[in-house]
Structure 1
């Protein structure tokens, strides 16, 4: 019995937006703070650094110093900003949110926010989309702070709200390359597999799948085989068959008893409850 089917295109279908151009004076830097852009042209190093991390919200206060509770609906899944070359994506809200952006004179210029249209039954979660969208629009002061190898991102809105984010290195940063996109179908039940240190170990049973540019299945699936390693970001639920979009990375100098390839979850494409 299928309870959920989600088949998405290979990229978020959204038009690139032209950012709003403003030219306010850049904020003064404080010691230990690196302003992302201090000239009329975008800072290449600052923009590149934004894309090397997932930026997870750890604090948010308004102009009166009060915590903005509306941005912390799910503590275990903090709001996260992901930056590509010209696009900002918001993760862990109710819907997937995204907008075009640029950086000018220490200001983050954010274009109109585009959102998927999924309904969330929790009112607080539904309100989260608007709470973050209202603070990520127009022109926002942006600062990057790098201390003790722990990058921090700070955004300050014109109304005085201050949002602080912690940088978590992306898989591309950790593994030193863009990786290879692949699709893995994960069987509903795990299977016994050999492991020198874990007697009775259970492994995911997987096979490779193929999809065309429209996101439709194509070609012949690969052979089922045990996967004697984890998929980063994926937690298996017995009885649920999943099709995953993953990124596959080669591991430089892997340990003698470790895998030479890493799999990182990118998207759950399809889920099905399998009756036993």
Structure 2
């Protein structure tokens, strides 16, 4: 059956559109995501930064109490890294360590799935704050920083009407020569050991679960050790050019708590 004249006039256009569609490269998914949703690393102004939760403003202007850094309290923290090209956020939620995949789209921080956390129990008030903080990660409707080139303040707006403000943490590696990172196990108790001219309490560490425990005479900067808990840490080895007298010239700086397990006594 002959085609109408109008169709014959449109045929070259339809052929061009069809060829263009066929010539487009197929989309490849990474981690189940449309690749158009994956940002370039250059657009992620948060990568390699870490933050303390400084203020939690509730709808109506009231402030919710949050822990602040001191000798007895540990703040809620968030850090952003890229692991093998995949953006991941991690930190301390008040009782437990957490991590979750994230992306930056048009400047908006998007947490792509529910966070995964360890399962330590603590005081009911702290547990309630942690529960609400972890829930907030997937409720971010707007996010901003004060300076995209060197951010020092970060703000999240939530669908609940809450506002969370964060302050940039100081790089704990400053002041020493940074070495490679490594994974280590830390036993659930510190034990007496000989250090220099006197006695000290040392960590028990090992590189793998099959090795015997060995003393670690140095410090682990940023590590909040709790007796009765066995840890697996990712640490950065730092060489101090001018260590204190009778102190090791090598110390570890905590990068992330990978695992933690309560050990029965």
- Per the normalisation by structure 1, the TM-score is 0.60
Give the aligned partner of residue 9 of structure 2: none
User: Who is 2:183 aligned against?
Assistant: 181
1:58-97 equivalences under 5 Å are 58-69=54-65, 72=66, 76-85=73-82, 86-97=87-98
Q: 1:108 to 1:259 in 2, by over 3 A?
A: same
C-alpha root-mean-square deviation of aligned residues, in Å? 4.2
> Does the 8 Å contact 1:111/1:138 carry over to 2?
no
CA apart distance, 1:58 = 0.7
Instruction: State the distance in 2 between where 1:60 and 1:241 align.
Output: 30
2:212 is equivalent to residue 221 of structure 1: yes
Q: In structure 1, what is the equivalent of residue 206 of structure 2?
A: 209
CA 1:263 to 1:123, structure 2 compared with 1: closer, same or farther past 3 Å? Answer: same
Q: How does 1:244-259 map to 2 (within 5 A)?
A: 245=233, 247-251=235-239, 253-255=241-243, 257=245, 259=248
Which one has more relative contact order, counting CA pairs under 8 Å at least 6 apart? 1
1:57 counterpart SS class = strand
Cα distance in structure 1, aligned partners of 2:178 and 2:49? 13
Aligned residue pairs total 223
Per the alignment, do residues 93 and 259 of structure 1 end up closer, same or farther by CA in structure 2, a change over 3 Å counting? Answer: same
Structure 1: unaligned runs, 5 residues or longer: 1-15, 23-39, 196-200, 212-216
| 8 Å contact from structure 2 (residues 239, 249) kept in 1 | yes
Give, in angstroms, the shift of residue 107 of structure 1. Answer: 1.0
TM-score by length of 2: 0.63
What stretches of structure 2 of length at least 5 have no aligned partner? 1-30
Flag the structure with higher helix content: 2
